[in-house]
Chains A and B, each alone.
Chain A
Amino acid sequence: MAISHDAHTVKQFDVLLANLRNLVLEMGGLVEDQIKNAIQALDNEDVAAAREVIARDQIINGMQVKVDEDSVSLIALRQPLGSDLRLIMSLSKIVTDLERIGDEAEKIARMTVKTYDGVSSSPSAKLLRDVHPMSKLAANMLHGCLDALARLDVEKAVEVAKGDDELDQEFQSALRRLMTYMMEDQRTIGHAINVLFIIKALERIGDHSKNIAEYIIYLVKGKDVRHVKMDVLVQDALEEE
Chain B
Amino acid sequence: MSTTIIEAKANLDNALNAEGRQIPLSSVQITDYDHRQTVGKITVDNPKMICRDVNVYYTGKQALKHVSIDIGANEVIAFIGPSGCGKSTFLRCLNRMNDTIPFCQVIGEIKLDQDDIYDKSIDVVQLRARVGMVFQKPNPFPKSIYENVAYGPRIHGMVDGKAEMDELVRASLERAGLLKEVENRLSEPGTSLSGGQQQRLCIARAIAVNPEVILMDEPCSALDPIATAKIEELIDELRENYTIVIVTHSMQQAARVSQRTAYFHLGDLIEIGETDQIFTNPKHKLTEDYITGRFG
Contacts and interface: CB of A to CB of B under 8 A. Distances in A.
Interface of A: 1, 4, 6-10, 13, 79-86, 222-223, 241
Interface string B273-296: 000000111111101110111111
B288 A1 contact: yes
Nearest to B279: A81
Contacts of B234: none
Contacts of B283: 1, 241
B82 to A, nearest CB: 11
B294 A81 contact: no
A9 B289 CA distance: 10
Nearest to B294: A6
B54 to A, nearest CB: 26
Contact of B292 (A82, A222, A223, A241): A82
Complex A-B, nearest 7 residue pairs according to Cβ-Cβ distance, in ascending order: A222-B281, A81-B291, A1-B288, A82-B292, A6-B294, A82-B291, A84-B292
Interface of B: 251-252, 255, 279-285, 287-289, 291-296
Contacts of B282: 1, 82
20 contacts: A1-B281, A1-B282, A1-B283, A1-B288, A4-B288, A4-B289, A4-B294, A6-B289, A6-B294, A10-B293, A79-B251, A79-B252, A81-B292, A82-B279, A82-B280, A82-B282, A82-B291, A82-B292, A86-B281, A222-B281
Given A1-B285, A6-B296, A10-B293, 9 more contacts: A1-B284, A4-B285, A4-B288, A7-B294, A81-B291, A82-B280, A83-B292, A85-B279, A86-B281
A1 B255 CA distance: 19
Most chain-A Cβ atoms within 10 A of its Cβ — which of B251, B252, B287, B288?
A: B288
Given A7-B296, A8-B294, A222 B280 contact: yes
Nearest to B285: A1
A80 B292 CA distance: 7
A214 to B, nearest CB: 15
A8 B291 CA distance: 10
A8 B280 CA distance: 17
A9 B295 contact: yes
A176 to B, nearest CB: 44
A222 B285 CA distance: 13
A10 B296 CA distance: 9
Given A4-B294, A6-B296, A7-B296, A81 B289 contact: no
Contacts of B284: 1
A68 to B, nearest CB: 20
Chain B CB within 10 Å, residue with most, of A4, A81, A85, A223: A81
A81 B296 contact: no
A100 B296 CA distance: 40
A1 B288 CA distance: 7
A213 to B, nearest CB: 18
